[in-house]
Amino acid sequence: MSWGNQSVLVEFTFLAYPSCPKLRVVCFLGVTLAYALIITGNVLIMVSIQIEARLHIPMYYFLGSLSGIEVCYTAVVVPHILTNTLQSEKTITLLACATQMAFFIGLGSADCFLLAAMAYDRYVAICHPLQYPLIMTMTLCIRLVVASVVIGLFLSFQLVAFIFSLPFCQSRGIKHFFCDVPPVMSLVCASSHIHELSVLVAATLAIAVPFCLIAASYALIVFALLKVHSAAGRRRAFSTCSSHLTVVLLQYGCCAFMYLRPVSSYQPKPDQFISLVYTLGTPLLNPLIYTLRNGEMKGAIGKTLTRNCLSSKS
């Protein structure tokens, strides 16, 4: 049977959803609330940056792009999670599972690469302030954002094509809420060190490499700040980096735990919880972190909300 026919006929069943009707309703309402806040927060950031002229600089262009990627990233899996929570049949075809995984991993990887681009932006701003307008042009910013998405999707498509070329066992039950790499790989019959190594290499390229670039950028930033004699100057520089560092630690901590380890070490219960953290928690906290710690962003969002309120009243 060809893969095209298998992709239609073969179905996986998700086993992580609660069976109790009341608990399913509670989960549905909780995920719906989190998803509504994610969309609202990230869209507010994108709209505010677009409207406020003084935010048309590389730092906020990257932030708006990050919010846009996270809106798409959550849209790949969260509506499907909401549908499955209330449905009795929680199945997905082979093709749909591969598609969901490809875009989920691809956009998540794009997130990681974009955070590395944002770290480079902070490095240039702090270590080379006089050359900053010449180096960080809008053309370069657009290229970095596009490159983050293209590289993330390319690595993801390669990984997913490899995973779904392997033979699956008779068991079709995925002990997870959606199609992610560790739970799907646990269903592969031809598991070997070569297969696990291939997945680990892809995860290293998408997670460890950009993290090393971020670490190198901040090492150079710290070295440059040690030469600054003004305490106020150091505080100002640190305030521009603290939000980004918080998001980096949150994002990379969860991703490293899930993907930078052998697939055979997959543990359904704790891994299901961690997956909800980086699927719902990180996109929900990112707007809060960037707005609460950034006076310009808070002011822009306040203006956007005020304009919307006044226009609705008129």
DSSP 314: -
Q: Can you point out the beta strands (E) in 142-215? A: 173-174
pLDDT digits (tens, 9 = 90+) for 87-111: 888 889 999 999 999 999 999 999 9
Higher pLDDT, 247 or 25: 25
- Give domain limits for the chain: 14-313
Query: What are the contacts of 41-45 at 24+ separation with CB within 8 A?
Result: 41/67, 41/284, 41/286, 41/287, 41/288, 41/291, 42/67, 42/68, 42/70, 42/71, 42/283, 42/286, 42/287, 43/67, 43/71, 44/287, 44/301, 44/304, 44/305, 45/287, 45/290, 45/291, 45/297, 45/301
Region 153-163 average pLDDT: 92
Q: Can you point out the beta strands (E) in the chain? A: 11-14, 91-93, 173-174
Residue-level pLDDT at 254: 80
Q: Does position 157 have pLDDT exceeding 90, yes or no?
A: yes
Taking the whole predicted model, whether its pTM rises above 0.75 is answered as yes
Position 311 confidence tier, pLDDT thresholds 50, 70, 90:
low
Residue-level pLDDT at 191: 62
| Superfamily of structural domain 14-313 | Rhodopsin 7-helix transmembrane proteins (1.20.1070.10)
CA distance 14 to 219: 43
pLDDT digits (tens, 9 = 90+) for 187-211: 887 666 777 777 888 888 888 899 9
Higher pLDDT, 228 or 96: 96
| Residue of 37, 63, 38 lying closest to 50 (CA atoms) | 63
Residue-level pLDDT at 5: 46
